[in-house]
């Protein structure tokens, strides 16, 4: 059974939780856009657990070899490829996301079958995946939703990385990759009819995401 919806404290205010209209929410977006910063308040608001795609990758890497799953092991096997031209790095990221589809499909199907809500978040989620008719053989029945969080400003992405990883050094290339990856995800979302929400201004992003998901009207608040 899913957790009961709980109030979430945002900007010093208690915002009542609500039961989601979906059973599975895919929180998509490129690296550094603030998915975790939004995802955990969303989970508290809706009373749901979170599955991070990075954890799925770690588990699959532990159970497979680079020969069995070359794409899932690509960055560890070829760390220098992170410095390829941004467009090439994005192509690799999309290919890895596609290789992960069977694992994400199994998780989504399990939550649909057991009728337990969950938020799945990560860089390797494709918005078009959310509009499938079924997952792991379980009919979607309109119970899978998705939203893409997008940050288009490379300077802001650099600042996000600096704050999150103060010892990470210069990350201009990484920010350019993230901005380009975000464009690709946003374009795919537009084709699939999945909402895209601007990551900034942070004042109100929580409210905008909830509204994009068809949730109840909330006061203007700031995600913690």
**Would 89 be classed as within a structural domain?**
yes
**Would 5 be classed as within a structural domain?**
no
Q: Is 150 exposed, middle or buried (0-12, 13-18, 19+ CB in 10 A)?
A: buried
Q: Residues of the chain whose pLDDT is less than 50?
A: 1-4, 6-16, 216-224
pLDDT for 17 equals 57
Pairing of strands 134-135, 138-139: antiparallel
**Would 13 be classed as within a structural domain?**
no
Angle subtended at Cα 199 by Cα 112 and Cα 195, rounded to the nearest 5 degrees: 45
pLDDT for 14 equals 38
pLDDT for 8 equals 47
Task: Show the domain range for 65.
Answer: 21-212
**Would 193 be classed as within a structural domain?**
yes
**Would 109 be classed as within a structural domain?**
yes
pLDDT for 13 equals 37
CATH of the domain at 107: 3.40.50.300
**Would 74 be classed as within a structural domain?**
yes
pLDDT for 148 equals 98
pLDDT for 215 equals 62
Number of structural domains in the chain:
1
pTM: 0.87
With a CB cutoff of 8 Å and minimum separation 6, the contacts of 29 are 35, 123, 148, 149, 150, 151, 182, 185, 199
**Would 6 be classed as within a structural domain?**
no
**Would 60 be classed as within a structural domain?**
yes
């Amino acid at each position: 059974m899913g957790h009961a919806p709980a109030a979430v404290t945002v900007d010093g205010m208690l915002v009542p939780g609500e039961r989601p209209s979906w059973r599975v929410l895919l929180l998509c977006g490129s690296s550094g856009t603030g998915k975790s910063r939004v995802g955990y308040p969303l989970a508290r608001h809706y009373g749901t657990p979170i599955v991070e795609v990075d954890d799925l990758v770690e588990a699959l890497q532990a159970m497979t070899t680079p020969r069995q799953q070359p794409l899932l092991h690509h960055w560890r096997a070829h760390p220098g490829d992170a410095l390829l031209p941004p467009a090439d790095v994005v192509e690799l990221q999309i290919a890895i996301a596609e290789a992960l589809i069977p694992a994400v499909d199994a998780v989504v199907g399990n939550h649909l079958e057991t009728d337990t809500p969950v938020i799945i978040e990560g860089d390797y989620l494709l918005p078009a995946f959310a509009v499938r008719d079924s997952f792991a053989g379980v009919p979607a029945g309109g119970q899978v939703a998705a939203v893409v969080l997008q940050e288009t400003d490379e300077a802001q992405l650099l600042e996000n990385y600096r704050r999150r990883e103060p010892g990470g050094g210069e990350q201009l290339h990484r920010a350019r990759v993230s901005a380009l990856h975000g464009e690709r995800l946003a374009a795919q979302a537009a084709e699939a009819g999945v909402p895209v929400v601007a990551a900034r201004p942070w004042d109100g992003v929580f409210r905008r995401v909830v509204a994009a998901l068809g949730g109840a009207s909330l006061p203007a608040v700031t995600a913690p």
